[in-house]
Amino acid sequence: MSLTGKQAAKKRFMDFLGTRNLRLTSQRQAIIDTVFNTDKHFTAEQLLEWSRERDQSVSRATVYRTLPLLTESGLVREMDFGKDYKFYDPNYADHPNHNHIICQDCDKIVEFESDKIAKIEERISHKLGFTVKTQRLQITATCEELKRMGTCKKKAC
């Protein structure tokens, strides 16, 4: 997502908080700044770690209270890859239809978009009498390192 896209998304989230009469504490500000300054997918624990680099006082509780607000606002999407933890994606505001491939070991995530896949999904839906509203494809796979070494040294989380 472009930087201006991120800034726009951040502003929309601030407006969303305003409609909920939620106070913008410095902890929450640090979390929001973190989320809207990355295009990486993150877990709650990663968000906590990154936010603490901005503001040491950010607590785990505030991160866990802020995440549902982010997903409710529609600007951050929760993703379940069948792991013990969820991932959060800050890139949907600009790219609502992108897909993901994830390494089953190190959790490396790569995004991709494909007109071909979109067309196939449209064709199938049409055949079944449906109209596509949203689509997302999640592929769990083995990354290059996992294939070569049998394990990934660097876990993304």
User: Shortest Cβ distance from residue 91 to Zn ion (Å)?
Assistant: 4
Of 35 and 152, nearer to Zn ion (C-beta) is 152
User: Shortest Cβ distance from residue 76 to Zn ion (Å)?
Assistant: 10
Of 46 and 89, nearer to Zn ion (C-beta) is 89
Q: Cα angle at 67 between 16 and 113, to 5 degrees?
A: 90
User: Shortest Cβ distance from residue 140 to Zn ion (Å)?
Assistant: 11
**Which residues contribute to the site for Zn ion (CB under 5 A)?**
89, 91, 103, 105-106, 111, 143, 146, 152
Q: How many distinct helices (H) and strands (E) make up the chain? A: 6, 5
Helix axes 44-54 and 60-72, enclosed angle (nearest 10):
110
Of 10 and 108, nearer to Zn ion (C-beta) is 108
User: Shortest Cβ distance from residue 104 to Zn ion (Å)?
Assistant: 7
Of 24 and 141, nearer to Zn ion (C-beta) is 141
SS3 content of the chain, % helix, strand, coil (to 5): 45, 15, 45
3-state secondary structure 17-35: HHHCCCCCCHHHHHHHHHH
